[in-house]
Chains A and B, each alone.
Chain A
Amino acid sequence: MSRLERRLEPSRAMMLASPLIAAAAMLATGSLLFCFLGQQPLHAFYVYFIKPLTSAYGVGELLLKATPLILCGVGLAIGFRANVANIGADGQLTVGAIAAACVALHFDQVQAGWLLPLMLLAGALGGMAWAAIPALLRTRFNTSEILVSLMLVYVAYLLLGYLVHGPLRDPAGFNFPQSKMFQDAALLPLLMDGLRVNAAFPLSLLAVAGAWFFCKHTFAGYRMQVSGMAPAAALFAGFSEPRNVWGAFLVSGALAGLAGVGEVAGPLGQLQPTVSPGYGFAAIIVAYVGRLHPIGVLLASLLMSLLYIGGEAAQIELQLPSAITGLFQGLLLFYLLAADLFIHYQLKPRRHIAAALATAPSGDPA
């Protein structure tokens, strides 16, 4: 007989292995599922997980879809480490996209190198402005930032809907609810001809590197981590809680806003009624699967992106239902949470009492 025992210290090895175990368990369960759906598991796996990676175009799509996940995920991870639960990245992404689109449409005739940087700046500021609302309400009135940031997502959706149906609608667009197409100077350059992945991807890698440096080497990053882990200790050390909340929201808002620019100035090329298919929400899973670590977020974003793209391929090629993507995401999160138990606990066979008395350290009070 065996029992769960609390580990003396959380296991670092298990912390790193847990996402891998979760991915393996997801694949195992997935193969069972494929069997029940009347598919050859190996062939289904090939279509789902390998085939998208066999063409340059597929890899480009993978990176394209991963980009907003990385940007949002990195920002959220920094916030979650500081125990600031920003659930509203999708709203901040949307407002960032709107801000960048306004700049692009306002300078419709300008062919200049400063237009894109200005759009990126506008996007970041737009995301920050949207994130500032829950930050202000939390620090001023102690409201729950979870609820406020979440509700603001829907406000942002409605704002976008109003704009594309009204003020920003393309006059020559046959009344379709979308803006004019951006001119070339307002589009992010493509990384390679024939692929849709654009300059936002290297930008997201830059964000990963920056976030890694921030968490690992700056005192501000340390302050935010302490505020998240032990609020009373942060107060004891003299770290300001409002500054922590503001920092977390502004960083994650800015990065989500940039993700929004990456969408409108990238694959969309215009403002549409829907800018994000929920990247800001998927980024929450990404942040946790990535262990709230910037490098982890990068890897988790790639995996999540593969789940999206593989899911599409499985729908088309294997006629599997579209729910398959959500199912795999759910499996991944489920197994991750289960495997995480073993970071703090271990399975131990029940030892013989006499043996334990002989070997275990005796009660050392100091």
Chain B
Amino acid sequence: MNDAVVPQLRVEPRLQLLGISKIYPSVVANAEVDLTVMPGEIHAVLGENGAGKSTLMKIIYGITKPDAGEIMWEGRQVHIDSPSAARKLGIGMVFQHFALFETLTVAENISLALDERITPAQLAPRIRAVSEQYGLPLDPQRRVHSMSVGERQRVEIVRCLLQSPRLLIMDEPTSVLTPDAVLKLFESLRRLASEGVSILYISHKLDEIQSLCDKATVLRAGRVSGRAHPREETAHSLAQLMIGGDLPTCQLLPRAPGEVRLALEHLSIASDDPFGTALHDICLDLRAGEIVGIAGVSGNGQQELLKAISGELPLRQPQGVRLLGVDAGRVDAAGRRRLGLAFVPEERLGRGAVPDLSLADNALLTGYIPSAGTGMVERGLIRRGTVRAFAREVIARFKVKCGDEQSAAASLSGGNLQKFIVGREIALKPKVMVVAQPTWGVDIGAAMLIRQAIIDLRDQGVAVLVVSEELDELFMMCDRLAVLAGGRLSRAVPVADTSVGQIGVWMSGDFEHPHHTAIHTTGAHHVTA
């Protein structure tokens, strides 16, 4: 690819941003950002969560208007005031979370999304041609609800490619993909680049950027903190640019687990939602003093499994969920909390916390459980002093950045709110802790603090279950790993005995059913010290 760049020295840049600024009331999202993308270049925009990457991409795609600065497209100044204007210029964007109609076919979805009016029937051969050309196999007649997230992403990419874009923006595309699918995606992107398409690749994953991208612009706190040729940099130097220091790590020392605290025994649930995922015969033992991770791409039954464990979706079979020796399948969420369960859900605002209530009132949300011994509620009355003191303690212990305990939950950033929610659940001294996507959208510093807090909890003998999409994170903090794919759960294997490769294969649903290899009443052979 480097030789492609050399003759282009006199060529106009495909896209040039000059001094782009975007100011929101609370935050400067972008400050005087300059960015140059040449034809055929795969250009990374690197930065941690909240660094302003997404805002910058929205400005290029015409969703957001900059407060200052100029955009040059192939040498002339342009004003991109809508996504359709951006598409007319030749800019395509694949969003992190895509909006497709589940009940429609691929061709129908794409037909709806195109600016020109082309019938699905006319589109089908073009979809087939483009998808074959770039190694993105896709059946135009298939309905979207039957497709995996990776396949849905392909629909979005093909939709962009049909408009022959000259610049393709990819926003964190690999967060929804298995490791194998990531490699295939990279091949397609390289092929596109070799044909002269410029690609803006947004990510916070250093290894991906090093393997894929020619150049990188690093953002930190809305400003350009550096430019680099990723292949010539080390992970250390890129991290230095991205967060101004080394990537912090956390420590997981070997530890012998104790008794089984949470057991799922042949748990099967039909999904209410026609497009939800049914759970099939799920078996899992979770022991005191260990962290078991559940890997897998979201939408493979994670929501259903977590609700079944938390009690938000009570079961018919009492034995489906055994919590501390109690058949808790039919026990509701409050009852399971009384048994000693704590839970950090994936959605922070609106589920883990009430947006318009203060942090103190949000401490009461789960702190009321009498068995936690917080004394927040006495004879049906709220003891405000106790509630506030509890909230202040969580804020101090987990370094939550906020006004004080009277600040509304919605006024906190995602990372700080997550610290507060995790801190609240930990402060309730649970016996079993279930955490979903612990560091989703959280900056690196806060992520490490959260991970370490969860590991500390395990060291105190708590049984911890972590459901996450981030494989790095799971390998960093788990004793054992299982994979959830298509509503089925693999057996849980010690982290030392597996690899990213094997877990990646399992993530595509390719694993033998656990009953053939493990007998769950004993479960002892799962355990390694």
Chain A residues within CB distance 8 Å of chain B: 5-10, 217-220, 222, 225-226, 229-230, 232-233, 235-240, 348, 351, 353, 356-357, 360-366
Closest chain B CB from A229 CB (angstroms): 5
Closest chain B CB from A342 CB (angstroms): 14
A218 in contact with B380 (CB, 8 Å): yes
Give the 6 A-B residue pairs with the shortest CB-CB distance, closest first.
Answer: A365-B50, A238-B334, A363-B222, A238-B333, A365-B443, A363-B221
B49 in contact with A238 (CB, 8 Å): no
Q: Which of B21, B23, B345, B381 is in CB contact (< 8 Å) with A218?
A: B381
Q: Which residues of A contact B368 (CB under 8 A)?
A: 219, 237
Q: Which residues of A contact B382 (CB under 8 A)?
A: 217-219, 222
Q: Which residues of A contact B311 (CB under 8 A)?
A: 238
Q: Which of A218, A226, A357 is in CB contact (< 8 Å) with B28?
A: A357
Q: Which residues of B contact A233 (CB under 8 A)?
A: 350-354, 365
Q: Which residue of B lies closest to A351 (CB)?
A: B23
The distance in angstroms between the C-alpha atoms of A230 and B49, with both chains bound, is 26
Q: Which residues of A contact B353 (CB under 8 A)?
A: 233
B413 at the binding interface (Cβ < 8 Å)? yes
Known: A229-B357, A236-B345, A365-B50. A360 touches B28 (CB 8 A): yes
Q: Which residue of A lies closest to B50 (CB)?
A: A365
The distance in angstroms between the C-alpha atoms of A212 and B151, with both chains bound, is 54
Taking A8-B25, A365-B51 as given, write out 11 further A-B residue pairs in contact, using a Cβ cutoff of 8 Å, ordered by the A residue number: A7-B25, A236-B312, A236-B365, A237-B366, A238-B332, A238-B335, A239-B334, A363-B27, A363-B222, A364-B221, A365-B49
Known: A219-B377, A233-B352, A237-B366. A366 touches B401 (CB 8 A): yes
B411 at the binding interface (Cβ < 8 Å)? yes
Closest chain B CB from A247 CB (angstroms): 13
A357 in contact with B351 (CB, 8 Å): no
Q: Which of B49, B332, B333, B356 is in CB contact (< 8 Å) with A10?
A: B356
Known: A233-B365, A356-B28. A366 touches B52 (CB 8 A): no
Q: Which residues of B contact A353 (CB under 8 A)?
A: 21, 23, 67-68
The distance in angstroms between the C-alpha atoms of A32 and B283, with both chains bound, is 74
The distance in angstroms between the C-alpha atoms of A8 and B27, with both chains bound, is 11
Q: Which residue of A lies closest to B358 (CB)?
A: A9
A226 in contact with B334 (CB, 8 Å): no
A235 in contact with B28 (CB, 8 Å): no
Closest chain B CB from A238 CB (angstroms): 3
Q: Which residues of A contact B51 (CB under 8 A)?
A: 363, 365
B413 in contact with A226 (CB, 8 Å): no
Q: Which residues of B contact A219 (CB under 8 A)?
A: 364, 368, 377, 380-382
Q: Which residues of A contact B354 (CB under 8 A)?
A: 226, 229-230, 233
The distance in angstroms between the C-alpha atoms of A324 and B130, with both chains bound, is 68
B29 at the binding interface (Cβ < 8 Å)? yes
Question: Scoring B residues 24 to 57 as 1 if CB is less than 8 Å from chain A, else 0, what string do you get?
Answer: 0111110110000000000000001111100000
Which one of A8, A9, A366 has the greatest number of beta carbons of chain B within 10 Å? Answer: A366
Q: Which residue of A lies closest to B223 (CB)?
A: A362
The number of chain B residues touching the other chain, given as a range, is 35 or more
Q: Which residues of B contact A217 (CB under 8 A)?
A: 381-382
Q: Which of B221, B223, B352 is in CB contact (< 8 Å) with A365?
A: B221
Which one of A217, A230, A362 has the greatest number of beta carbons of chain B within 10 Å? Answer: A230
B416 at the binding interface (Cβ < 8 Å)? yes
Known: A237-B334, A363-B28. A230 touches B222 (CB 8 A): no
Q: Which of B332, B356, B366, B407 is in CB contact (< 8 Å) with A229?
A: B356
Q: Which residues of B contact A348 (CB under 8 A)?
A: 25
The distance in angstroms between the C-alpha atoms of A219 and B347, with both chains bound, is 24
Q: Which of A5, A229, A238, A365 is in CB contact (< 8 Å) with B355?
A: A229
B415 at the binding interface (Cβ < 8 Å)? yes
Q: Which residues of B contact A363 (CB under 8 A)?
A: 27-29, 31, 50-52, 221-223
Known: A9-B411, A219-B380, A237-B366. A364 touches B27 (CB 8 A): yes
B468 at the binding interface (Cβ < 8 Å)? no
Q: Which residues of A contact B407 (CB under 8 A)?
A: 9
Q: Which of A226, A362, A366 is in CB contact (< 8 Å) with B415?
A: A366
Within 8 A of A (CB), among B290-335: 310-312, 332-335
The distance in angstroms between the C-alpha atoms of A233 and B382, with both chains bound, is 18
Q: Which residues of B contact A362 (CB under 8 A)?
A: 27-28, 31, 221-223
The distance in angstroms between the C-alpha atoms of A364 and B31, with both chains bound, is 13
The distance in angstroms between the C-alpha atoms of A237 and B334, with both chains bound, is 6
| CB pairs A–B below 8 angstroms (15 shown) | A217-B382, A218-B381, A222-B361, A232-B351, A233-B351, A233-B353, A238-B334, A238-B337, A240-B332, A240-B334, A351-B23, A353-B68, A362-B27, A363-B29, A364-B401
Question: Scoring B residues 216 to 260 as 1 if CB is less than 8 Å from chain A, else 0, what string do you get?
Answer: 000001110000000000000000000000000000000000000
The distance in angstroms between the C-alpha atoms of A235 and B347, with both chains bound, is 13
The distance in angstroms between the C-alpha atoms of A9 and B25, with both chains bound, is 11
Closest chain A CB from B337 CB (angstroms): 6
Q: Which residues of A contact B67 (CB under 8 A)?
A: 353, 356
Q: Which residues of A contact B221 (CB under 8 A)?
A: 362-365
B390 at the binding interface (Cβ < 8 Å)? no
Q: Which residues of B contact A351 (CB under 8 A)?
A: 23
The distance in angstroms between the C-alpha atoms of A230 and B410, with both chains bound, is 12
The distance in angstroms between the C-alpha atoms of A6 and B401, with both chains bound, is 21
B29 in contact with A366 (CB, 8 Å): no
Question: Scoring B residues 402 to 417 as 1 if CB is less than 8 Å from chain A, else 0, what string do you get?
Answer: 0000011011010110
Closest chain B CB from A184 CB (angstroms): 40
Q: Which residues of B contact A240 (CB under 8 A)?
A: 332, 334
The distance in angstroms between the C-alpha atoms of A237 and B335, with both chains bound, is 10
The distance in angstroms between the C-alpha atoms of A353 and B408, with both chains bound, is 29
Q: Which residues of B contact A360 (CB under 8 A)?
A: 23, 26-28
A237 in contact with B401 (CB, 8 Å): no
The distance in angstroms between the C-alpha atoms of A220 and B26, with both chains bound, is 35
B206 at the binding interface (Cβ < 8 Å)? no
The distance in angstroms between the C-alpha atoms of A17 and B370, with both chains bound, is 39
A364 in contact with B50 (CB, 8 Å): yes
A220 in contact with B332 (CB, 8 Å): no
B380 in contact with A237 (CB, 8 Å): no
Q: Which residues of B contact A364 (CB under 8 A)?
A: 27, 50, 221, 401, 413
Known: A353-B23, A357-B23. A237 touches B365 (CB 8 A): yes
Q: Which residues of A contact B335 (CB under 8 A)?
A: 238
Q: Which residues of A contact B410 (CB under 8 A)?
A: 9
B28 in contact with A9 (CB, 8 Å): no
The distance in angstroms between the C-alpha atoms of A26 and B368, with both chains bound, is 44
B411 in contact with A222 (CB, 8 Å): no
Q: Which residues of B contact A365 (CB under 8 A)?
A: 48-51, 221, 413, 415, 443
Q: Which residues of A contact B443 (CB under 8 A)?
A: 365-366
The distance in angstroms between the C-alpha atoms of A237 and B332, with both chains bound, is 10
A226 in contact with B25 (CB, 8 Å): no
Closest chain A CB from B422 CB (angstroms): 14
Known: A362-B222, A364-B50. A236 touches B361 (CB 8 A): no
Q: Which residues of B contact A366 (CB under 8 A)?
A: 50, 401, 413, 415-416, 442-443, 445-446
B201 at the binding interface (Cβ < 8 Å)? no
The distance in angstroms between the C-alpha atoms of A73 and B356, with both chains bound, is 23
B343 at the binding interface (Cβ < 8 Å)? yes
The distance in angstroms between the C-alpha atoms of A348 and B25, with both chains bound, is 10
B408 in contact with A9 (CB, 8 Å): yes
The distance in angstroms between the C-alpha atoms of A6 and B24, with both chains bound, is 9
Q: Which residue of B lies closest to A363 (CB)?
A: B222
Q: Which residue of A lies closest to B26 (CB)?
A: A8
